[in-house]
Structure 1
């Protein structure tokens, strides 16, 4: 049967995130994680469903993408479908043609696994590579050291602390208490933890959200931030170590995170927290 592209309804998101869980592996290239969908859920269930695209054959999901903003599609495939020619050709056509409704006209970006045949087909169609990102991971086989900072998992009663640190860490952040509640209402949040770190005076100084993909699979750190007024004290390393410990408690085999390679401070923070660099990745972009 032919490849079928579709946009799931809210109920259909469970099938998509289930596939994403199954596709996670410690030796896989950096790619879309169910936690990415969980983090997007802060915009609500309906918006999340509308941002997702799937490509299926014979009822099996072979590829899934998340429209993360107006011009970026974060895409991955089943591990055994990375070099599937029929799938890659359909994906390349759908992503290149604005009339297909996946990406608009103008400059757009696609994040896809580095070993996917799609990368070659997009290059043949004139898509260039964008700035590099640095994925990194930490093995969680052994117990994680004490972070050296008081870190607590927070719920609805202290969501305001989590959102306030996020906004103070990222000037463009729109993470509000309402959006935290929307995120927490989603089914993926059951396998997530929001952590806040406090200095010796009890002031919230750093925060992170971690997402499990299930026991024995890599867990995701997305996002992590340090309050702009409290940088330079090692709080980023501390909250990242705490994030790794939380993922280990959730049964994750490793912790993964990705940041722009040009963000040298973030790259150094993850290295100091025991994360090892993995091969850099680059989006493909179409100039328009």
Structure 2
């Protein structure tokens, strides 16, 4: 049984990533309760990025993509838990999905992470379909506080990680050249929805993208139609796509997702789309672009591709598993 009363934490200093933060005196927590909470969550992510820089666990665009492509919106009210300080300001929340979870915490309130893990582990035990509950938690290689906490609770770091790379947009971005037979443009509303979804499902074999999900995503707060790019073949089909999300507060753009249909690969479409996206971000006075990619063998071409466009790896976020 999880405690229902506010957890009172001591006021001793807390050393996190080389910085001394003061522990919060008291926090309260509750379940997600709707759109007002979602606005608070987005605001918290922007605040964390302003304090921590781009090396964060979740960008605002990530959250919009996760939330608006999640078919089970009702489950938000049972999976997402929020923590508030004594003045009612949001200082952290969990975002569980299947057997993994993201812990998003204001750097001054890292001491709430044990309580967050209590909640995550509680959820895993409720999974009646899994006879051996387990949970995977993300932690950056440099995040000594979270790494130590996970080790103390019996988690083991796996070999699976996500790399975060960044591209300085103050530097020159070459003008894209669309390959012969293709046109680069942005999505034009409902007229492109079905073709964009078909391309997504072709590019990612395991994708569960649907028209309903994509329609929801284009209504996300961070979504900008002119940053949702597609490469259109002469026959009118969508051959490749690249969606970018722009955090106007921190002036950071993120690529999520980038994909190309199998029949149209090796024509330079991905390169043309990303370069066009970076130039459009420059038009918004963005100073940085970011992208996450995985550690599996099939992700190695992505690593080389982004490096060729000037992206530099900044950190690796590992999956820690318990169970």
Q: TM-score range by the shorter chain?
A: 0.7 to 0.9
Offset of residue 93 of structure 1: 2.9
TM-score (norm 1): 0.86
1:3 partner SS: strand
For the 8 Å contact 1:71–1:107, the answer to whether it is kept is yes
Q: Which runs of 5+ in 1 are unaligned?
A: none
Check if 1:42 corresponds to 2:78: no
Check if 1:107 corresponds to 2:134: yes
Higher mean C-alpha deviation, range 165-174 or range 47-56: 47-56
Aligned to 1:261: 295
Aligned to 1:169: 203
Q: Note closer, same or farther for the CA distance 1:180–1:281 as it changes in structure 2 (3 Å cut).
A: same
Q: How does 1:1-288 map to 2 (within 5 A)?
A: 2-11=26-35, 12-25=37-50, 27-40=53-66, 41-43=68-70, 46-47=73-74, 49-50=76-77, 51-58=79-86, 59-67=88-96, 69-81=97-109, 84=110, 86-98=111-123, 106-113=133-140, 114-115=142-143, 117-130=145-158, 131-149=160-178, 150-154=183-187, 155-190=189-224, 193-199=227-233, 203-262=237-296, 263-286=299-322, 288=323
1:15 partner SS: helix
Offset of residue 256 of structure 1: 0.8
Q: Number of aligned pairs?
A: 282
TM-score (norm 2): 0.77
For the 8 Å contact 1:21–1:34, the answer to whether it is kept is yes
Q: Which runs of 5+ in 2 are unaligned?
A: 1-24
2:222 partner SS: helix
Aligned to 2:3: none
Q: Distance in 2 between matches of 1:191 and 1:63?
A: 30
Larger CA Rg, structure 1 vs 2: 2
Q: Distance in 1 between matches of 2:316 and 2:172?
A: 27
1:187 partner SS: coil
Q: Note closer, same or farther for the CA distance 1:216–1:97 as it changes in structure 2 (3 Å cut).
A: closer
1:248 partner SS: helix
For the 8 Å contact 1:192–1:209, the answer to whether it is kept is no
Calculate the aligned-residue CA RMSD, in Å: 2.7
Q: Note closer, same or farther for the CA distance 1:272–1:202 as it changes in structure 2 (3 Å cut).
A: farther
